[in-house]
Amino acid sequence: MTGTLAGKVAFVAGASRGIGRTVALALAEAGAAVAVAARSEREGKVPGTIHDVADRITAGGGRALAVPCDVTNEESVESAVAATVAEFGGIDVLIANAGVLWLGPVESTPLRRWQLCLDVNLTGVFLVTRAVIPHVRARGGGSLVAITTTGVGMTERGANAYWVSKAAVERLYLGLAAELKADNIAVNCLSPSRIVLTEGWLAGGSGREIPPEAVEPPQAMADAAVLLAGQDATGITGTVQRSESLPG
């Protein structure tokens, strides 16, 4: 396939459904070979598997590898990254999208839910990012993108484990951008400008009613992710971007 990312290899964590799935398909459409990474090897309560997404990419003429990956497990992450490099020869782009949702008030949040949000949304980003950096550096540069949320700035609406974990990711990536500038690696965060009604949101959004004007089509995130995936440290780096604020 040809496109703006032709010849690039992208590792997409949390790619079996939702935003990750849409982004993985868009990266492939732009020409990248895509490692479709997630725990979802078989259908569960929430639809979508890594094999479904990889099969769709290859059916469209692209290159994809379904890679089992639990982002909270160091060995699993290292194995997934190694499998990607063995298959495609390296990694140029990371989309750190794996996440869990918990929007309950702090006072009624069980400790296990708090820890799960931090384990998946923060430590998971740390582990996949740490694992891919040497491979992106070896390519002479590339792009790291972490998916966050506009909720980070909504302090007037209280606190929850999800927003806290994503706020920590933004601090991690803003600092990492400075560390990796000399390696020609762009490091950015990307969040929806509005709400994307993913399978995860529908399963964990506490039944909240969302007005139509507050809903963002998944393709807006996909288009923004492709643009950021094409960056290196000479372009957009060290930023927190909102999907609908980036040029299409």
Q: What digits encode the pLDDT tens for the residues 74-119?
A: 999 999 999 999 999 999 999 999 999 888 999 999 999 999 999 9
Q: Look at residue 200 in the predicted model and tell me its pLDDT.
A: 57
Arithmetic mean of pLDDT, 220-228: 93
- Strands of the sheet containing 9-13, edge to edge, are 64-68, 33-38, 9-13, 93-96, 142-147, 185-191, 239-242
pLDDT for 196:
64
pLDDT of the residue at 107: 95
Q: What is the pTM of this model?
A: 0.91
Residue 173 is among the residues annotated as catalytic for this protein:
no
Summarize the confidence of residues 20-26 as an average pLDDT.
95
* Alpha-carbon span 234 to 36, nearest angstrom: 27
Q: Is the pLDDT of residue 201 over 60?
A: no
Domains observed in the chain: 9-245 (3.40.50.720)
User: What is the rounded distance in angstroms from the CA atom of residue 175 to the CA atom of residue 41?
Assistant: 34
- Mean pLDDT of the residues in the chain: 90
142: phi then psi, degrees, rounded to nearest 5: 165, -155
Q: Which of 11, 88, 126, 162 is catalytic?
A: 162
